[in-house]
Amino acid sequence: MKYLHTALQSGDTIDRDCFKKCVCENIVLVGRALKNKFVIPEWQFFCSVIKDLYTSAKSNSGGKVANYIPQLSRFSPDLWGVAVCSIDGQRYMIGDTNVPFCLQSCSKALTYAVGTTEMGSEYVHKYIGQEPSGRSFNELSLDHNKKPHNPMINAGGILMASMMKPNLSPADRFDYIMKYLQRLAGGEFVGFSNATSDSDNFRYLSERDTADRNFALAYYMRENNCFPPGAAAALQETLEHYFQLCSIEVTCESGSVMAATLANGGICPTTGERVLDPDAVRNTLSLMHSCGMYDYSGHFAFKVGLPAKSGVSGAILLVVPNVCGIMVWSPALDNLGNSCRGVQFCTELVDKFNFHNYDNLLHQTSQKLDPRRRRSDVKGREVVNLLFSAANGDVTAIRRYAVQGMNMSQADYDGRTALHLGAAEGHLDVVMFLIERCNVNPWPRDRWGFTPLDDAKRFDHKDVADYLESKITDKAHFKGDGGPEKT
Ligand code: GLU
């Protein structure tokens, strides 16, 4: 893309060589664009909804910026960014999406994904459980097997940190995970800052200075023999490593690519590289779903129904499996430690789109949009289903569509409605259901000017014709229709 950018700055055409370079760099994206095969086909429309949700959450001024880690308290509560990356590499950013912030607890989901990719889930779960703790993220407690409840809370995060390449030197261990995260982000921004170079950037040391609880957790776990062989002796190193992981910085933009890699089963959508094992990704998403949002996890799973991981920096890494990854960030937190604007955005996202894990994808309801389909396809499919059910006399299906909130008066390209089809095929029960229960207009005209009554008569369905004729007297009931006489 940088070639394209340079070329466009120097004039409005690009030469063959430049075109080739642009295409090679983005071959997956370009290929899908040409075949019109993006996972979210109406991207512009999708982005316009994301923009509305962003704007709606922007007016939420609730919450407080975390102050227990000094560096975090310096962020303005007004910062607010949302970045989306689809599994096909479609991108959208709005707000403060280029400002670096530290991952904090979001790093736990990523470290777990990397750790299980490298060591396998069986090994990792010899030491860490899979249950929501039902307690605060840094509570001094273990499960009944004397393991941390799960890898998404501090105890589990510390234990996970102890397992990551324990034989390497601290600098190499850190490098190792950084390289992994950079691949997850498709080479986009992943940074780290400590006090050594810049007085304003000392998240890591700032964090270390306020870390009594995490030291206490580590000692408590050592007392209970929680650590794998070798790690117990290196407690200090393990904690340093854990604090460093929390202090890794991303932006909304790079974080959205990481989330999209999780959404895409471990293959980075912008580079096409397989970074994580698919089973490790599935396990990560399961645990994010049940344990990723602190003490709000159950509520979030119920309401939003998507895997997410929150951090005290105000970040939420949200995954819509097989569709897209989203990073939202705003530092003001609610009293459970989640970003106020972030939670509002996630909730409204799922009110708008059928992304909740248990939204029904087979039967379109009129309230929620399915961005995986073109709206025109959805409409076309809906009309066809309705009209075929009417023609087949399938009152059960028609009742189901009515309950789902479908528009029962809708017509196809020729102006044919369910009532025309029901009448033409002589299905009195369908005709009666549509008129009496769905209150459809009894006199719609198709493109040739025929009403359902004309159809019933043409095809000799006397019972249907008599019934429809009886409705002439009720005509006043139905507003705005032309009545049986042609107008
Ligand atoms: N580094 C933080 C701590 O251990 C993580 C807090 C969080 O984001 O949950 O206290």
For residue 131, the domain's CATH number is 3.40.710.10
In a domain, 366, yes or no: no
**Given ligand 1 and candidates 71, 73, 137, 295, which is best to mutate, with the most ligand atoms within 8 Å of its CB?**
137
**Given ligand 1 and candidates 207, 208, 212, which is best to mutate, with the most ligand atoms within 8 Å of its CB?**
207
Same domain, 215 and 341: yes
Same domain, 147 and 190: yes
Q: Which atom of ligand 1 approaches the CA of 211 most closely? A: 10
Q: Which atom of ligand 1 approaches the CA of 207 most closely? A: 1
Q: Is the CB of 138 under 6 A from ligand 1?
A: yes
CA distance 13 to 251: 32
Out of 54, 82, 92, 105, pick the active-site residue.
Answer: 105
Same domain, 15 and 108: no
Same domain, 70 and 194: yes
Q: Which residues lie across from 325 on neighbouring strands? A: 85, 319
Counting the structural domains of the chain, the total is 3
Same domain, 347 and 297: yes
Q: DSSP E strands: which ranges in 281-323?
A: 308-310, 315-320
Which has the closest alpha carbon to 109: 178, 166, 168, 160?
160
In a domain, 118, yes or no: yes
Its domain, for residue 247, covers 47-352
Same domain, 408 and 463: yes
In a domain, 365, yes or no: no
Same domain, 331 and 393: no
Same domain, 195 and 274: yes
CA distance 396 to 360: 18
SS3 213: helix
Same domain, 9 and 138: no
Q: Is 206 one of the catalytic residues?
A: no
In a domain, 85, yes or no: yes
Let me know: does 260 contact 324? Beta carbons within 8 Å: yes
Same domain, 344 and 232: yes
Same domain, 86 and 152: yes
In a domain, 72, yes or no: yes
Out of 39, 84, 107, 108, pick the active-site residue.
Answer: 108
Q: Is the CB of 218 under 6 A from ligand 1?
A: no
SS3 327: strand
Three-state SS letters, 100-141: CEECCCHHHHHHHHHHHHHHCHHHHHHHCCCCCCCCCCCCCC
CA distance 372 to 288: 23
In a domain, 358, yes or no: no
Contacts of 47 (CB under 8 A, 6+ apart): 84, 92
Spell out the per-residue pLDDT of the chain, length 487, in tens.
556 666 666 666 777 887 787 777 777 778 778 877 899 999 999 999 999 999 999 999 999 999 888 878 889 999 999 999 999 999 999 999 999 999 999 999 999 999 999 999 999 999 999 999 877 888 888 999 999 999 999 999 999 999 999 999 999 999 999 999 999 999 999 998 663 334 444 567 777 777 889 999 999 999 999 999 878 678 999 999 999 999 999 999 999 999 999 999 999 999 999 999 999 999 999 999 999 999 999 999 999 999 999 999 999 999 999 999 999 999 999 999 999 999 999 999 999 999 999 998 776 555 789 999 887 777 788 899 999 999 999 999 999 999 888 899 999 999 999 999 999 999 999 999 999 999 999 999 999 999 999 999 999 999 999 999 988 765 545 544 444 444 3
Residues 360-390 as b or e (16 or more Cβ within 10 Å = b)? eeeebeeebbbbbbeeeeeeeebbebbbebb
CA distance 102 to 398: 53
Same domain, 319 and 467: no
Which has the closest alpha carbon to 67: 59, 79, 77, 58?
77
